Amino acid sequence: MTAALSYEAVLADRDAIMRASVGIDYQQYVTGVLAFDYERLLADTGYDIQRTQDVQSRTGVGNTPLIELHHITSLVRFLAAPGKGARIFVKDEAANPSGSFKDRRASLSVYEAKRRGYEGVVAATSGNYGAAVASQAAKAGMRCIVVQEAFDSQGIAQPEIAEKTRACEAYGAEVIRLSVGPELFYVFLCVLKETGYFNASLYTPYSIVGIETLGYELAGQVQEQTGRFPDLVIATHAGGGNVTGTARGLRKAGAVDTKVVAASVDLTGLHMASDRDFNRKSFTTGHTGFSMPFTTWPDRADVPRNAARPLRYIDRFVTVTQGEVFYMTQVLAELEGLERGPAGNTSLAAAFSMAQELDADQIVVIQETEYTGAGKHPLAQLNLAKQMGVEVRRGDPRDNKPGQRIVIPEHPSQIAVVDVDLEHVRRSYVRHALEAVHGEQPMSEIDLDFLAAETRSSRAYVKEAVNEWHRTT
């Protein structure tokens, strides 16, 4: 290894590598100690809804169907109190070229890379996004490299990740497969440095703006089919881009009163960077191992300023168990004839529970589905769980214990969301923000306003949270 590619040298050069690979001078948006001009960062992409839709339509992205789940709604009403049981719709994003909503975020990144003259694109992901970037790169005639955290130290790969490796390679991408650990970011930086390719990060403004069309389309389709906007839109939540882009698109469509709910699989107690835990989780995305840290501090991303800021947009944050998602995956297939992958079914499980709380004339939308395949099927995940010593049984899903026990419901009435305390999440965000600047520099009025926007609170709330942090540190 050359000295220029040693671990120390590459990490020391990370800011320059990132600037060169995304073509954005993030420093120009800094307005305070913590604050930056978030709206200008997104606006400076030059893509409004109409231009984004035009770019996406050229590669067959978007305009996916909105499907009413009549049979699941009937089951909800059978379980709910009289007069309760909202109508449930799903936005079928599996109709996109690579089979998920990630095509929306990949489309703008690849288009922008091509426009700027990059020869190729690089993405660090073990999920659907890699396939989406590879698909869009193939359409653009560009090279693509996907860096993927694929297996544990014993060489055991999750079947869902193996399925996504296959998809990336099918689109012509080179896939660099790594074991779980901190080397992922180092290898990613090395690839960017050596190739000079575009960083098609999940967290650039292009990625987030690309998702806005999802919320915008969804709002228009519900209005066209029902004469009104939805009451709830439920988004599976991991790194925050899905929630952020969808919520922004809803607002741009005029659906300002629609509540946005973030839903994640509860993997409490499992650590995403742990070699032992890596294969004891049966979900590779849409779980609390990503959603909690990215909600409480989004700038842990691979770009200087993350354009996914979920706490700005979440009205409610709920979790469901692994067993509940597997159960609803089968319900969707058997009652609605839709076999879809696990991520969107996290929102489906949440919708099934929450719809029972709402009046029968209200509308709930699950904002995405994804394609399924052999590696994504529940049986593949459950077989791996058993291989790793995780107990799988039927019973009360409240007995679920991530990494030890997956409990699949015996009856649909057992499915119930658990609310995440957003007050605690807001306090945690403020704490992480202060820790990022070591709490040593005084907050300006601009910083206080920024933190208030980030936490959907007030300047007074932020001041009190800052004072509390100083009292306890």
Residue 18 CA: distances (Å) to CA of 24, 294, 423: 9, 20, 34
Please tell me the predicted confidence (pLDDT) of residue 246: 98
Is residue 366 located within the same domain as residue 263? yes
Identify the domain containing residue 453 by its residue range: 423-472
Distance CA 336, CA 216 (A): 25
- DSSP secondary structure code for residue 81 in this structure: P
Q: Is 236 helix (H, G, I), strand (E, B) or coil?
A: strand
Is residue 385 located within the same domain as residue 445? no
Please tell me the predicted confidence (pLDDT) of residue 440: 64
To the nearest 10 degrees (0 to 180), the angle between helices 14-22 and 183-195 is: 60
Residue 65 CA: distances (Å) to CA of 167, 220, 225, 308, 350: 23, 12, 11, 25, 21
Is residue 408 located within the same domain as residue 435? no
Classify strands 316-320 and 418-419 as parallel, antiparallel or unpaired: antiparallel
Is the pTM above the cut of 0.85? Answer: yes
Burial of 82 (0-12, 13-18, 19+ CB in 10 A): exposed
**Tens of pLDDT along 257-292?**
999 999 999 999 999 889 999 999 999 899 999 999
Please tell me the predicted confidence (pLDDT) of residue 7: 82
**Number of domains forming the structure of the chain:** 2
Distance CA 118, CA 198 (A): 6
Is residue 126 located within the same domain as residue 265? yes
All residue ranges of the chain with pLDDT < 70 are: 1-3, 439-441
Distance CA 473, CA 437 (A): 14
Is residue 97 located within the same domain as residue 241? yes
Is residue 28 located within the same domain as residue 151? yes
Distance CA 259, CA 364 (A): 10
Listed residues 420, 435, 451: the one ending a domain:
420
Tokens of 54: 């035009």
Is residue 8 located within the same domain as residue 31? yes
Is residue 293 located within the same domain as residue 428? no
Is residue 372 located within the same domain as residue 465? no
Please tell me the predicted confidence (pLDDT) of residue 44: 97
Q: What is the CATH number of the domain that holds 43?
A: 3.40.50.1100
Is residue 314 located within the same domain as residue 428? no
Is residue 313 located within the same domain as residue 324? yes
Listed residues 396, 420, 444: the one ending a domain:
420
**Tens of pLDDT along 68-123?**
999 999 999 999 999 999 999 999 999 999 999 999 999 999 999 999 999 999 99
Is residue 427 located within the same domain as residue 409? no
End-to-end CA gap in the chain: 43
- DSSP secondary structure code for residue 44 in this structure: T
Please tell me the predicted confidence (pLDDT) of residue 338: 97
